[in-house]
Amino acid sequence: MELWYTEEQTPSLRLSCKVRETLTTAQTPYQHLAIIDTEAFGPMLVLDGMVMTTIADEFVYHEMISHPALFTHPCPRKVAVIGGGDGGAIREVLQHPQVEKAILAEIDGEVIAQSRKFLPEIAGALGNPKVEIHIGDGFAYLREHKGEFDIVLVDSTEPVGPAVALFSRDFYAAVYAALRPDGIMVAQTESPFYNQEILAGAYKGMQAVFPKVHTYLASIPTYPSGLWSFTLASKQYDPLTNQRQPHPGFISKYYTPELHRSCFVLPQFVRELLSRP
């Protein structure tokens, strides 16, 4: 018998992966969770029918949600990750020796528990003593911690289910307030091909709150269209002029110091999308 997992990326587009084994499934209070072992990508975390991460290509997403901001800030000591229960962003954050505390604020404790069990390559860093885990609403967490963070990374699901509020102007204002006076936020902002309204809305929402906003791109094969956007909003530092170089021992499979600059160079159609009035 052949088992295939099919994601309905849009109502008229589907990606299907051959499955070796279902490792776990659960209905959590927030969403349906599955971890399946696929032939093409190895173990894959699926939330509400959407691929969140896979062993084969998680490096792109986790390096690229983290390093552009962390190599822009001159000394990122305290970093919060909102969402990101698989622990991949935390793992990359901890590559930076300046980081003293990395807080994971994830609403769904099951994502953390199952990732630690079935995706240890991704979640392994969650046991690091610098990590503090808060299981609860990330929005509420930020409201209660004003002026504390050098960097906030918003590693959310698509804006359906628990993540809807994380794409609102109120949320960006809460992130602004939770950041120190020279803080930086980064949010995943969906596919520039398939989710243009979400990307443009997030970009404008952050522009209404932060003085410096830049969208950048990375290639993630298991995400719809294979091209993904992140948007960096900063109170003070500019990613193109305040770039630090990696320290000895820094390891990456996607990020490079040259890519730190080139990822901000957008195709013409994305430039036009972001400059729409």
User: What span, in angstroms and rounded, lies between the C-alpha atoms of 167 and 160?
Assistant: 10
Determine which one of 155, 170, 182, 238 is catalytic. 155
- Which residue lies nearer to a copy of itself by CB, 165 or 266? 266
Regarding 160 and contact with a copy of itself (CB under 8 A), the answer is no
Exactly one of 217, 232, 233, 274 binds a copy of itself (CB under 8 A); that residue is: 217
Longest Cα–Cα distance in the chain: 58
Q: Which of residues 12, 27, 245, 275 is near a copy of itself by CB under 8 A?
A: 12
The residues, ordered by sequence, that sit 6+ positions from 224 with a Cβ below 8 Å of its Cβ are 9, 10, 13, 15, 191, 193, 194, 195
**Residue 31 binds to a copy of itself (criterion: CB under 8 A):** no
DSSP 28: -
Q: Is 225 a residue that touches a copy of itself (CB under 8 A)?
A: yes
Minimum distance of a copy of itself from residue 224's CB (angstroms): 8
Query: In which order are the strands placed within the sheet that holds 78-83?
Result: 131-135, 101-106, 78-83, 149-155, 179-188, 227-234, 212-219
Q: For residue 101, what are the CA distances in angstroms to 76, 90, 135, 176?
A: 9, 10, 16, 19
Site membership for a copy of itself, residue 40 (CB under 8 A): yes
Catalytic residue at 155? yes
Question: Which residues are identified as catalytic?
Answer: 155
Chain residues in the site for a copy of itself (CB under 8 A):
4, 6, 10-18, 38-40, 57, 59-60, 193-194, 217, 219-221, 223-227, 252-256, 258-259, 261-263, 265-269, 271
